[in-house]
Amino acid sequence: MREETIVIKKMSRRNFTRKLVAAPLAIAGGQMLGAQIAALPSQDKRKPKTDAEYNRHPPIVEPDPFSAPLTFTRREVNPKVRPFALDQVLLDAGPMQQARNLNRAYMMRLSNDRLLHNFRVTAGIASAVEPLGGWESPKAELRGHFVGHYLSACALLYASTGDSQVKQKADDLVGGIAECQTALAAGGYVSAFPEELFVRLDRREKVWAPFYTLHKIMAGMVDMNTLAGNAQALDVAKNLAGWVDRWTSERTEEHMQEILKTEFGGMNDVLYNLAAVTNDDRWVNTGDRFTKKSFFTPLAMRRDELKGLHANTHMPQVIGAARRYDLSSDHRFGDVSEFFWDTVTETRTYAPGGSANTESWLTNSGRLALEMKASSHHQECCCSYNMMKLSRMLYGRSADPRYIDYYERNLLNHRLGTMEPETGHTSYFLSMTPGAWKTTCTEDQTFWCCTGSALEEFAKLNDTIYYHDEANIYVNLFVPSRLHWESRGIRLQQSTRFPENNRTLITVHAARGEVWTMYVRIPVWTTEENQISINGFHLPTPGTPGSYVALKRQWKSGDRVELSLPMQLSVEILPDDPSQQAFLYGPLVLAGQFPRGELSFDLQHNQAPEPGELPPFELPNLVPGGRSLSEWIKPAAGQPLTFRVTGQEQSIELKPLNQSWERFTVYWSVS
Ligand SMILES: [Zn+2]
């Protein structure tokens, strides 16, 4: 070990929380002792004190954080760490690069004329192509939403890879929509459906989600400007935002709060982003009209009142809250975003990282076993996409590795696990019903919300691997990749076959001989036997799982950091039924494999079959027989990441959920 290497272990937030919880317990014990003394007979004839009498102070009535009209002052939060620009991180060969390429191939197979068809028809421009189907069909009230996602995905992909074909295709699409905006001459309005849907929204008549769709189109345009340098896209976005500003300003706040009961995506988020891009606070004020106070108020007061809410309607609003906090330092919005993340990830998340059932939260927090039985529509993919997006924003504020632990869990199990490995088609739900299978979209007859968010997801798989502060680098994910930090003159290359292999090698290819720190994430799932070496010299102590190890030294070209992160089997139970158990190996959720058999086209490509539609399936109960996990779940010889459950009535194979395309089971009844 060289002398200049200094190892600093940070206390993870998880450990910090554990220490904190000890203090209030002591106080509670004191109160209990007092109550027992008061209840003793004969020595004191007075009645025992009531709860109210014990309280020296009456409960404090907390002020409603959103009762007053919102005002905005720009006071940006200084993040602790920032992501690298997308073109600074390149993916090398591996599962991430493969998923990105499959996604690109699917994107390039969709013609611009078909994507533009409904926009042109709405604007009175001739279009004779075959329309797309599903949620993009000419009668679907969400039509146009996918085109917005498509633009964002193109922008992300171009920014990541410099792919000129993608850029040209997206530029043409922006031009096509701009042409429709001009032809409509409707005060900046442009969409693939007429303004009539907003008339119905205004009257509170039945309509799908018109603002949701505008959000996707505006976000696509803002992304095309900021990530792909398209100036016309910013004009389209500002014109459309102007229409939104006028429409919303003409309504009372009470009426807007009624309108916000209909899904509106991340209208607040995109308007805040537009304000940041244009440095024009007008768009913040417009965005603030999309503050759904009945949703934000309990969150800001740290109360989980999510039961009964549609999950993906509300997650983008929280992303908007996080953005509002970042722009203004207004702690109310910070509280909303942080408490929401805490309660969803800690009490409403299944093992693969997803949340919700039938797109909604059906129970109070911590009732996942109860909720899971209600249907087989678990873990909508958009929800994971949005929660990962929120995680990145919160991580930037704190550099707390628990956000990355959650991100990685979702990325490996949920997101990579829902892309069909031949076509690049993706899923709507990731069902946790025993014996479920993955259903995927079709080539051009589906276009779920999740088809659109997946397009974006797989266009930016390079975005969280590394972060930085002023001078230092955070290595977060174990992905074959290259980082080039031009302004600091630093190049890194990460070589790994993770997760098939639990080692990774980071080589410094260029450095100016300056002292800086490489913060290497020691994931929460590894063991105390993890090892780090620099140029072959092992550090004397392992890293603490759930923290970073700080490697501070004068880095020079050719320095090699090797990381060994042993994986172990672990169990995760559903909080309201400990007999319902999922098994993991390291960060990978394991799934029992059962033959898929013949399935109809509809069952393969529907959103997800309901339990009653599932072909018969008998889930065996598992009986450990008092053995430790590693004694009854054993590695399968010659098959990496594969295990056999031994000593049961039938032989059961477990392999990673992200490789499971047969019928599978994640949660087992264990007795
Ligand atoms: Zn979705």
3-state secondary structure of 665: strand
CA of 613 to the centre of ligand 1 (A): 21
Residues 6+ apart with CB under 8 A from 53: none
Both 510 and 601 in a single domain?
Answer: no
The domain boundary residue, chosen from 564, 591, 614:
564
CA of 59 to the centre of ligand 1 (A): 42
CA of 380 to the centre of ligand 1 (A): 6
CA of 382 to the centre of ligand 1 (A): 4
CA of 512 to the centre of ligand 1 (A): 46
Q: Is 22 part of a structural domain of the chain?
A: no
Q: Is 315 part of a structural domain of the chain?
A: no
CA of 78 to the centre of ligand 1 (A): 32
CA of 389 to the centre of ligand 1 (A): 14
- Cross-strand pairs, 495: 505
In three-state form (DSSP H/G/I as H, E/B as E, the rest C), the secondary structure along 411-477 is HHHHHHHHECCCCCCECCCCCCCCCECCCCCCCCCCCCHHHHHHHHHCCCCCCCCEEECCCCEEECC
CA of 313 to the centre of ligand 1 (A): 10
Q: Is 339 part of a structural domain of the chain?
A: no
Both 540 and 595 in a single domain?
Answer: no
pLDDT, residue 600, reads 86
The domain boundary residue, chosen from 262, 278, 294:
278
Both 539 and 578 in a single domain?
Answer: no
Q: Is 251 part of a structural domain of the chain?
A: yes
CA of 594 to the centre of ligand 1 (A): 27
Q: Is 471 part of a structural domain of the chain?
A: yes
Both 509 and 634 in a single domain?
Answer: no
Q: Is the dihedral of CA 141, 148, 233, 318 positive or negative?
A: positive
Rounded to 5, what percent of the chain is helix, strand, coil? 40, 15, 40
Task: Report angle CA 149, 152, 156 to the nearest 5 degrees.
Answer: 135
The domain boundary residue, chosen from 517, 542, 564:
564
pLDDT-flagged residues of the chain (< 70): 1-45, 608-609, 611-612
CA of 492 to the centre of ligand 1 (A): 36
CA of 450 to the centre of ligand 1 (A): 4
CA of 22 to the centre of ligand 1 (A): 41
CA of 212 to the centre of ligand 1 (A): 12
CA of 447 to the centre of ligand 1 (A): 10
CA of 73 to the centre of ligand 1 (A): 34
3-state secondary structure of 640: coil
421 upstream amide cis, omega within 30 of 0:
no
CA of 346 to the centre of ligand 1 (A): 22
CA of 257 to the centre of ligand 1 (A): 24
CA of 609 to the centre of ligand 1 (A): 16
CA of 75 to the centre of ligand 1 (A): 33
Helix (H) or strand (E) holding 171, with range, is helix 164-184
pLDDT, residue 54, reads 75
CB 192 within 8 A of CB 143: yes
CA of 441 to the centre of ligand 1 (A): 12
CA of 19 to the centre of ligand 1 (A): 39
Tokens 């600091």 map to which residue? Answer: 488
CA of 56 to the centre of ligand 1 (A): 50
Both 552 and 586 in a single domain?
Answer: no
Q: pTM for the complete prediction?
A: 0.92
Find the CATH number of the domain harbouring 517: 2.60.40
Both 541 and 597 in a single domain?
Answer: no
DSSP string, 227-295: HH--HHHHHHHHHHHHHHHHHHHTS-HHHHHHHTTS--TTHHHHHHHHHHHHT-THHHHHHHTT--HHH
Both 544 and 595 in a single domain?
Answer: no
pLDDT, residue 599, reads 86
CA of 452 to the centre of ligand 1 (A): 8
pLDDT, residue 43, reads 58
3-state secondary structure of 120: helix
pLDDT, residue 9, reads 32
Both 612 and 527 in a single domain?
Answer: no
Both 115 and 248 in a single domain?
Answer: yes
Q: Is 57 part of a structural domain of the chain?
A: no
Both 225 and 144 in a single domain?
Answer: yes
CA of 401 to the centre of ligand 1 (A): 27
- State the total domains in the chain: 3
CA of 76 to the centre of ligand 1 (A): 31
CA of 359 to the centre of ligand 1 (A): 8
CA of 523 to the centre of ligand 1 (A): 29
pLDDT, residue 89, reads 98
pLDDT, residue 45, reads 67
CA of 352 to the centre of ligand 1 (A): 16
Q: Is 188 part of a structural domain of the chain?
A: yes
Both 574 and 639 in a single domain?
Answer: yes
Q: Is 45 part of a structural domain of the chain?
A: no
CA of 167 to the centre of ligand 1 (A): 26
> How far, rounded to the nearest angstrom, does the alpha carbon of residue 402 sit from its chain's CA centroid?
13
Q: Which domain holds residue 619?
A: 569-669
Both 196 and 222 in a single domain?
Answer: yes
